[in-house]
């Protein structure tokens, strides 16, 4: 090779080398970090999702279940004429992992305090393949019944365990333990109820999703009750999640769903309802 050619190639190499080093290499900040938004809302319909609210996020909810759509459908206009059970509530992200909520339900004038803590979080790198959240709910029925206050208490402990399988599909299992100090409060016999809830969400697009929840009772159950099931259509606008659902139970508080559902979804006993979730940021302007 002639000296001219060598010189030309050397210069070309050096210029290319310099140019290739001129632009910085683009590097992600945390490419293997926690998976985001396994579920869109804090509940599928009534079942708590493993999702916790980001710090300083407030989620205001209106959960609204009408009467049975299939019981005298024309006379009761598919259940819409029957007094609905409404739960008004707020949840707040104390930290990115810890959410605290309050709610009030029409039936039995139930007030409840609920809390979730994200114990494990699935990561994009799969170093943690699942998410696990601990959930508790303490409810007090304030309907006048001449019983001591303690008799009107019930609570639920749950542990939603789940995975975001893809951008479309998320599934969870939720072992649940419910306790009623006075089962007669809900017309039942069992102080303690167990269930292994199953829930899932399938995203049809950026704004629409289908979801379901199922509450199979394990062990003894209150007489006449059935395993509850709900099917929902979700609309996500970024700040709102609207959930339009068909459900067997008219409750949206888990211990009451386990204790009091007398309707068999698969026999056609379902009702229409909707949840509205509205997210707010409470730490200054954003």
Partner 1 sequence: MTRRFGWAVVLFGLFLTLFPTGLRAQSAYESKTGHAEFTSSMPGFTFTGKSDHLVGKITLPDSTVDFYLDLTTVDTGIGMRNRDMRETLDTKKYPFASFYGKLISPFDITQKETQPATVSGNFKVHGVSRQVTIQGKLTPTGQGVRVEASWTLMLKDYNIKPPSILFYKVDQEQKIHIKTLLTPIQ
In the complex, the residues that contact partner 1 under the rule CB under 8 A are 3-4, 6-7, 10-11, 13-15, 17-18, 22-24, 26-30, 36-37, 40, 53-54, 56-57, 206-207, 235-241, 279-281, 283, 285-286
Our CB check for partner 1 shows the closer of 40 and 245 to be 40
Our CB check for partner 1 shows the closer of 36 and 81 to be 36
**Closest separation in Å from C-beta 220 to partner 1:** 39
Our CB check for partner 1 shows the closer of 6 and 191 to be 6
The Cα 86–Cα 107 span in angstroms is: 8
The Cα 123–Cα 137 span in angstroms is: 27
The Cα 137–Cα 157 span in angstroms is: 7
Our CB check for partner 1 shows the closer of 227 and 236 to be 236
The Cα 243–Cα 149 span in angstroms is: 34
**Closest separation in Å from C-beta 213 to partner 1:** 20
Our CB check for partner 1 shows the closer of 38 and 248 to be 38
How many C-beta neighbours within 10 Å does residue 179 have? 16
Residue 73 tokens, joined: 């459908």
**Closest separation in Å from C-beta 3 to partner 1:** 6
The Cα 79–Cα 224 span in angstroms is: 21
State CA 154 to chain mean position distance: 21
**Closest separation in Å from C-beta 141 to partner 1:** 32
């Amino acid at each position: 090779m002639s000296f001219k050619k060598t010189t030309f190639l050397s210069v070309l190499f050096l210029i290319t080398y310099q140019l290739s080093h001129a632009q910085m290499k683009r590097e992600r900040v945390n490419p293997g970090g926690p998976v985001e938004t396994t579920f869109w809302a804090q509940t599928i319909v009534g079942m708590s999702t493993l999702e916790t609210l980001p710090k300083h996020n407030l989620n205001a909810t209106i959960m609204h279940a009408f009467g049975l759509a299939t019981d005298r459908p024309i006379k009761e206009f598919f259940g819409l004429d029957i007094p609905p059970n409404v739960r008004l509530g707020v949840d707040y992200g104390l930290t990115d992992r810890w959410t605290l909520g309050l709610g009030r339900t029409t039936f039995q004038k139930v007030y409840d305090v609920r809390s979730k803590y994200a114990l494990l979080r699935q990561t994009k790198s799969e170093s943690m393949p699942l998410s696990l959240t601990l959930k508790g709910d303490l409810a007090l029925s304030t309907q006048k019944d001449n019983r001591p206050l303690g008799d009107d208490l019930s609570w639920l402990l749950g542990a939603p365990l789940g995975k975001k399988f893809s951008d479309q599909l998320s599934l969870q299992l939720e072992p649940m333990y419910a306790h009623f100090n006075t089962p007669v409060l809900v017309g039942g016999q069992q102080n303690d109820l167990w269930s292994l809830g199953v829930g899932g969400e399938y995203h049809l697009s950026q704004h629409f999703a289908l979801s379901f929840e199922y509450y199979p009772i394990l062990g003894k159950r209150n007489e006449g009750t059935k395993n509850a099931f709900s099917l929902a259509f979700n609309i996500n606008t970024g700040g709102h999640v609207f959930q339009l659902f068909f459900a067997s139970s008219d409750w949206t508080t888990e211990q009451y769903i386990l204790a009091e559902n007398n309707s068999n979804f698969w026999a056609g006993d379902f009702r229409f309802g909707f949840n509205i979730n509205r997210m707010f940021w409470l730490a200054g302007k954003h």
